[in-house]
Structure 1
């Protein structure tokens, strides 16, 4: 079963890497799946993942401990809004523009709600 997890992890990582250049395919989901599958494949990889500085900074501190500062969240919002502004200005379809605005607002409301404790207060606690 270990090799199946490794193989599926490699496939998910490859799809996530290809998805960087293909608009509309979510990269993050494939990378999270790859990390999960690699961690399931062996205890050594699982230990490495938990000790990885990127995991500690962005997942452990950012999600479990809620230590992303307001400035870091604003940077996330601005980068996301910039990426969504490209199709917003290039595509003349009104429905797409409305969906992009709704996605941006949903991201801001959900992240701020999470970090300010409006909801999901017990979901991510260790």
Structure 2
């Protein structure tokens, strides 16, 4: 991997990390998806940052739960789907004039929604 791609991934991962941290505080932002994106970016660009994230007392549990197949919290699923459909609907109805692109975007959003719903839901009793 060239150094430019590596730095772009590190910067992107850090941005997703900040959004994930905000998601812990703000009820409108989902934490888990942003932390998963952070883990992906760090995993592809920096072993040191990736290990730090997984070993972090506050953040590591979200990623470890997902990787173990334990699922994601119901609240996160609801917020993810609401944000996904709200932002996509706005884009489809107000920003994109090409019907073909609208259809493709709808297909992608339906697939992502199905994927999120198919993930195991982590109940409150299972949280560690």
Q: How many angstroms apart in 1 are the aligned matches of 2:10 and 2:112?
A: 25
Q: Is the 8 A contact 2:12 2:38 kept in 1?
A: yes
Q: How many angstroms apart in 2 are the aligned matches of 1:111 and 1:7?
A: 32
How many equivalent residue pairs?
Answer: 99
Residue number in structure 2 paired with 1:10: 7
How far the C-alpha of 1:106 sits from its partner, in A, is 0.2
**Any stretches of 5+ residues in structure 2 without a counterpart?**
16-33, 122-128
State yes or no: 1:114 paired with 2:111: no
How far the C-alpha of 1:89 sits from its partner, in A, is 1.3
Q: TM-score, normalised by structure 1?
A: 0.57
Residue number in structure 2 paired with 1:32: 40
State yes or no: 1:79 paired with 2:83: yes
RMSD, matched Cα: 3.4
Q: Is the 8 A contact 1:61 1:67 kept in 2?
A: yes
Pair 1:46–1:6, CA change in 2 (3 A): farther
Q: How many angstroms apart in 1 are the aligned matches of 2:40 and 2:68?
A: 16
How far the C-alpha of 1:49 sits from its partner, in A, is 2.3
Q: TM-score, normalised by structure 2?
A: 0.56
State yes or no: 1:48 paired with 2:56: no
